[in-house]
Amino acid sequence: MRLFTACLAHESSSFSPIPTNMENFRDAMLHRPSRGETVKGRFKSIECALTAKGHDRGHDIVESVGAVAMPSGPLARTDYEELRDEIVNDLRLAMPVDAVALFLHGAQLAQGYDDCEGDLLAALRAVTGPDIPIGVEIDLHGNVTEAMTRNATAIIACKEYPHTDFLERADELLDILEATVAGRARPVMAVCKLPMTGIFHTTRQPLRGIVDGLFELEQRPGVLSVSIAHGFPWHDTPHVGVAVIVVSDGDEPLARTLADEVGAQVFAVREQIAAPRTSLEEALAQAAGLNSGMAIIADTADNAGGGAASDSTFFLHELIRMEAQDAAVGMIWDPVAVDIAFTAGVGATLAMRIGGKTSVLSGPPVDAEFKVMALTPRLGQTAFGFYRIVGRAARLRTGGIDVVLIESREQVHSPECFEELGVDLASTRILVVKSAQHFHARFKPLAEKIIYAVAPGATSVDFTTFDYARLVRPIWPLDPEAAFPSTPGPR
Ligand SMILES: [Zn+2]
C-alpha cells in the first residue's frame, strides 16, 4: 500500500521552567524530507519505527516530518504551526495515499494550542476525507481528546511504563492499517475517559494484572486493540485524564462496553496504583538502613523526561550533609559546570557550584570542593531499546559521592550513563537517579531496593503543589469525591 508516515512528538508540561522552540527539535531529532534535511540530533530511534517497519513490510512509503524534542514547556506557536503545516502539505502532495501512520506523543502543547495532536489530526483528516484510515501510535502519557478520537481511525497507546513496547505497538498499528486497506477489517474506536490523573507503574500490581488482561481481551473475536492512556498530569488543560481506548472490528457496542469495563476496573484501584510518594528524608533513611546491595532512589520530581529541569540539588545537599559514602547522583543538567570541568581536566580539584539554577524548584546550588574524576564528549545510554547519545558529561567527586553532570538535558534510562564515566555500580550503596520510572527497565536487576521519592520539582506527584486553573473538576486525587461513571465533560 501507499503509506504516508510522520512523527511529531513532544511531551509538553504546563509547569516546566524550560521553554521550547525548533532548536530543541534540532538537538534531539528533526527530519524534514520535503526540505531535503536529513535526520539530525541525538535521537534516531523509536519514533521512526512506523516508517522503518513500513519499509520492511514492502509498502510504498511517503515519509514526512520526523520531529522529537526532550520534554519541556509548550512549543513556540509559530514553530508548531510550521511543523504541522509541513506535515499537512506533505500529505496534500502525496495524495492519493492508502493510509496514514503517525507517531505522536499525545501530550503536546504549543502556545495557543492545548491539544496539538487533535489539531494536527483534524488538519490531516481534512486532506484525506473520511475514508482513508489514519492510525496513530502514542505514548501512554498522552491525554486523549475528543478531537483526536474523532479524526483518527485507530489510536494505540503503548501499554508498558517503562515504555518497553513501542515497537510491538507499531507492528499492531501497521497490522490494523494493512487489514483495513485490504478490506479485512473496519476499525471502530471507543474511548472511556476517567476523572483521575496520576503516574502509574505497570511494573507493580494491581496495574500489572490489568495490563496483562488487555492482551487477553485482544484475543477476543472482533477486538483489534485495547490500551490504557495514563494521561499527562502536568497539563493545565481540560483534557487531563486517564483514557481506555478500544478499537474493534466494526462493532461499536463491543468497543464501548469493553472501554467502560476496563475503565471501571482502573478507577476502582486508583488508590493502589498511584505512584509511591516517599519523602526525601524517609527515602535516604531507608537507603542508609539497607545492610547490603544498592538502594536506588528515584528523584521523581526532577525528571527531565517529564519536563523538569533535572538540576535540583535537594538530594545532593542532604547526601553531603550526612557524609554519605559509596553514593552517586545523576544526571544533573549543568552545562556551565560541565564546561568548567572540561577546562580544569581530569584529576583537577577545585571549588565548584553545581545545579540549582533553573527555577525555585531546583533548590539552592551546591558549593563544594570537587575532584574531576572523568570526562567524556559523548556519554550514551540505552533508551527504549536504542543506544542514544546524551552528550558531553563529567563525573565529579566530593567526599564519598560521585556526581554525573551533563550538558544536554536527559533523564536516566540505563546504567551506561554512570558506567561510561567509571562509576562502579557494584560497590555503590546509594544511587539517586533523576528519572520517574524509565530507569526501572535496566536498573531493576542491579538494585536491592527501589525507592520512589518526592522532593520538590516540576514533575512532583504531589499535585497540590501545582496551580491548576483549567482541569475539569472533580478529578481524583485532587478531588477525592470524583466518581465514575462521571457526567461526560469536555475532557
Ligand atoms: Zn511516557
- HEC states along 364-406? CCEEEEEEEEEEEEEEEEEECCEEEEEEEEEEEEECCEEEEEE
**Cα 112 from Cα 78, distance rounded (Å):** 10
Give the model's pLDDT for residue 488: 52
> To which H or E segment does residue 431 belong?
strand 430-433
pLDDT of residue 37: 83
Q: How many angstroms is it from 305 CA to the middle of ligand 1?
A: 8
131's CB contacts (< 8 A; 6+ apart) are: none
CA of 109 to the centre of ligand 1 (A): 15
Ordered alpha helix ranges (H), 105-165: 116-128, 146-151
CA of 88 to the centre of ligand 1 (A): 25
Q: How far is the CA of 104 from the centre of ligand 1 (A)?
A: 11
Residue 290 Cα to ligand 1 midpoint, Å, equals 31
Give pLDDT, residue 490.
Answer: 46
pLDDT for position 341? 98
Q: Which of 125, 134, 153 is nearest to 255 (CA)?
A: 153
Distance of CA 161 from the midpoint of ligand 1 (Å) = 7
For residue 165, report the distance from its CA to the centre of ligand 1, in Å. 11
- CA of 376 from ligand 1 middle (Å) equals 28
CA–CA distances in Å: residue 4 to residues 24, 64, 247, 303, 426: 25, 7, 21, 34, 47
Q: What's the angle, vertex CA 108, arms to CA 106 and CA 114, rounded to 5?
A: 105
* DSSP class of 293: S
What's the CA-to-centroid distance between 91 and ligand 1, angstroms? 27
Q: How far is the CA of 142 from the centre of ligand 1 (A)?
A: 8
Residue 384: its pLDDT value, please?
A: 86
Q: How far is the CA of 438 from the centre of ligand 1 (A)?
A: 9
Alpha helices in 269-313 (DSSP H): 270-273, 280-288
Q: Which residues of the chain are under the pLDDT cut of 70?
A: 45, 486-491
Gap from CA of 143 to ligand 1 centroid (Å): 11
Q: In b/e form, how buried is each residue of 404-414, taking b as 16+ CB within 10 angstroms?
A: bbbbbbbbbbb
Ligand 1 centroid to 306 CA: how many Å?
8
Residue 327 CB neighbours (<10 A): 27
Distance from the alpha carbon of residue 180 to the mean position of ligand 1, in angstroms = 28
- Quote the CA–CA distance of 240 and 237 in Å, as a whole number: 6
Q: Which three cell numbers stand for residue 157?
A: 497507546
What is the rounded (10 degree) CA torsion for 57, 58, 60, 66?
40
Find the 25 Cα to ligand 1 centroid distance in Å: 18
The pLDDT of residue 253: 97
Place of cell 539517586: 432
Residue-wise pLDDT for 56-113, tens only, equals 999 999 999 999 999 999 999 999 999 999 999 999 999 999 999 999 999 999 999 9
